[in-house]
Structure 1
Amino acid sequence: MLRAKTFMTETRARNRWAWIIGLAGGVLGFLIQVLIRKAFEEQLLSKTLPLIPGVFHLTYLKNPGAAFSFFDSNLTSWTLWLRLISMGIIAVVTLLFSRFRKEMILPLQVGLGLLLAGGISNTVEQILYGDIAIYLDWRSPPLPIFNLADIAVRLGSFVTNISILYWLLSTLIRRFR
């Protein structure tokens, strides 16, 4: 009986960082976006708030498309479905790893968690408001205005890709050694 209990505990704990980062980061990112939206829409803050004048500002805009305003408002429903499908794929991959008792390396869990966090945050906001609040405005160097969820998605993509490359290379090295 003790062995069965230990097995169940180990199974539930697999890949937990992907889920913890994804859900906690998604909720936190969404709450920040809602707070930014409310502060600017209720005119508690002016349209642009310079934090480091000429370098970094909080500038409130509504983005009906995808990350960094890559798609226009005509593709809003398409980008929403793409986001939902992407998050579903990430969730299924994580569940499959857990189901087959495979522990993902920690960087891969972090990367997938960040992807989920950014996706959850932006998707929930787009469903509730019809657009996404973007507010981080780097003016030097000039970058498109974005939000924390966009950072999570980009960073998560980078970490996930590097983790998969590391896993593939280490698997090949072990196999041909």
Structure 2
Amino acid sequence: MYIILSIVILAADMVTKYFVQRKMEPYDSIPVIKNIFHITYVQNTGAAFSILKGKIFFFAAVSVIITLIIIFIMIKYPIKEKILGIAMAMVLGGAVGNLIDRLRYGYVVDFLDFRIWPVFNIADCAIVVGTLILAYLITFRAEPGSLQSKNRR
């Protein structure tokens, strides 16, 4: 079931990137809400906030490792908590989306531009939200091996 969410995230990411690349040149920007939200085509050779620019092999390797770990966990350990499965599926779909870009182009296609934040994409959103959910679950679970809230018994 969770793999379907990963595929949906991956498909949304790839389709939006395809249209941005097809209709725009790098650094073109289309205001959706002027000075607030633009579609801006950026070719990011780094990670979040363009850190470590040009380290394509490093980021591709990290993405492959994360992808393999998540797939292993999802196969080896049946996920009982729905929110955990959703979070892992989000990270998986996003990691694969950006990995495909790195392997195909040597950069990640970013285009969501809120002007006060670095430009990002749907895969980035899925990775960040999924990671935040995982961090919450790890921080507030009742006991090791359990993903139940401290307030639930």
TM-score by length of 1: 0.76
Q: CA deviation at 1:152?
A: 0.6
Determine the structure 2 residue equivalent to 1:10. Answer: none
- Counterpart of 1:143 in structure 2 is 117
RMSD of aligned alpha carbons: 2.4
Which consecutive residues of structure 1, in runs of 5 or more, have no partner in the other structure? 1-15
Return the index of the structure with the highest Cα Rg. Answer: 1
In structure 1, C-alpha distance between the alignment counterparts of 2:73 and 2:63, rounded to whole Å? 15
Q: Does 1:133 align with 2:117?
A: no
- Structure 2: segments with no counterpart, 5+ residues: none
Matched residue count: 149
Which residue does the alignment assign to 2:39? 58
- Whichever residue aligns with residue 30 of structure 2, its letter is L
Q: Secondary structure at the match of 2:77?
A: helix
Equivalent residue, structure 2, for 1:33: 17
The structure, 1 or 2, with the larger RCO (C-alpha pairs under 8 Å, 6+ apart) is 1
Question: Following the alignment from structure 2 to structure 1, what is the Cα–Cα distance between the partners of residues 16 and 49?
Answer: 17
2:67 corresponds to which of 63, 87, 92: 87
Structure 2 SS opposite 1:119 = helix
2:77 aligned with 1:97: yes
Task: Give runs of ≥4 in structure 1 deviating > 2 Å.
Answer: 163-174
Task: Report the alpha carbon displacement of residue 169 of structure 1 after superposing the two structures with TM.
Answer: 4.2
Contact (CA 8 Å) 1:68, 1:150: kept in 2 or not?
no
The answer to whether the aligner puts 1:108 opposite 2:84 as a matched pair is: yes
Cα distance, 1:173 vs structure 2: 8.6
Identity in percent: 23
